[in-house]
């Protein structure tokens, strides 16, 4: 698909053989972790799959399995959060800093565009493994999550029709659900013929924005309000 995803996931600039080796291991690990999970994979297997004769090459570059997982996360999330930052600045520039739909779009679309590409990659399923095994990586205190944190802060303040007790929970639930839905779509795209027009991807991405918007803004029922009042 000819979109922002092409920029987000273009091969990184390679400065030398060591950088190229490191990048190859990051890309290999992303795929293997997505397929097998974090616990079912050894650094030795990553090294072998990366074409490294030295089985300690991954440990040399990343220190540990946790270091490798974090390196994959940072490499992929940095351009996504940069795109989120651009979208927030665009909203500010046209006087839409308090536009809920615009903020949801800035929060959801960059990640969705990075996952929903034809043919698909492994980033969505890798993130699904992050939520299952290493959810601490998703903290918005990370530098590569700064724009996401800003969008979330603005949304928290704007969702005045949703009780305060629910806003943070809804934001967390919406983000986690979004990742899982994207991972499922990524898997399905891998089983389907390539859509060279990009129509299928465009529909999926727009629907993801709509679904997260609905999750965040849906008015709580009387039953839920009563339950909160009794708690």
pTM score, two decimals?
0.88
Decide if pLDDT at 8 tops 50: no
pLDDT, tens only, 152-182: 999 999 999 999 989 999 999 999 999 999 9
Q: Could you say which DSSP state residue 144 is in? A: G
Instruction: Give the pLDDT band (50/70/90) at residue 106.
Output: very high
Cα–Cα distance, 104 to 47 (Å, whole number): 39
Instruction: Give the pLDDT band (50/70/90) at residue 196.
Output: confident
Instruction: Give the pLDDT band (50/70/90) at residue 198.
Output: confident
The alpha carbon dihedral of 202, 99, 175, 84 has a sign of: positive
Domain boundaries, the chain: 4-11+77-230
Question: Which tokens sit at 79?
Answer: 């351009």
């Amino acid at each position: 698909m000819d979109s922002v995803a092409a920029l987000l996931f273009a091969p990184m600039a390679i400065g030398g053989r060591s950088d190229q080796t490191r990048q190859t291991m990051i890309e290999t690990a992303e795929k293997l972790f997505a397929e097998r999970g974090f616990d079912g994979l050894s650094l030795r297997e990553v090294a072998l799959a990366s074409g490294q004769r030295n089985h300690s090459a991954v440990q040399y570059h990343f220190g540990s399995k946790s270091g490798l997982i974090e390196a994959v996360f940072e490499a992929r999330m940095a351009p996504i959060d940069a795109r989120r930052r651009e979208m927030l600045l665009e909203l500010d520039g046209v006087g839409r800093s308090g536009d809920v739909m615009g903020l949801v779009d800035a929060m959801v679309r960059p990640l969705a565009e990075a996952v929903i590409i034809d043919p698909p990659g492994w980033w969505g399923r890798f993130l699904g493994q992050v939520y299952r095994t290493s959810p601490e990586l998703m903290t918005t205190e990370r530098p590569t999550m700064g724009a996401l944190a800003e969008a979330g802060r603005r949304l928290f303040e704007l969702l005045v029709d949703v009780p305060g007790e629910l806003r943070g929970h809804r934001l967390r639930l919406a983000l986690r659900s979004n990742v899982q839905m994207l991972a499922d779509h990524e898997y399905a795209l891998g089983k389907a013929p390539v859509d060279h027009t990009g129509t299928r991807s465009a529909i999926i991405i727009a629907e993801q924005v709509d679904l997260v918007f609905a999750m965040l803004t849906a008015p709580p029922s009387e039953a839920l309000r009563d339950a909160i009042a009794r708690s």
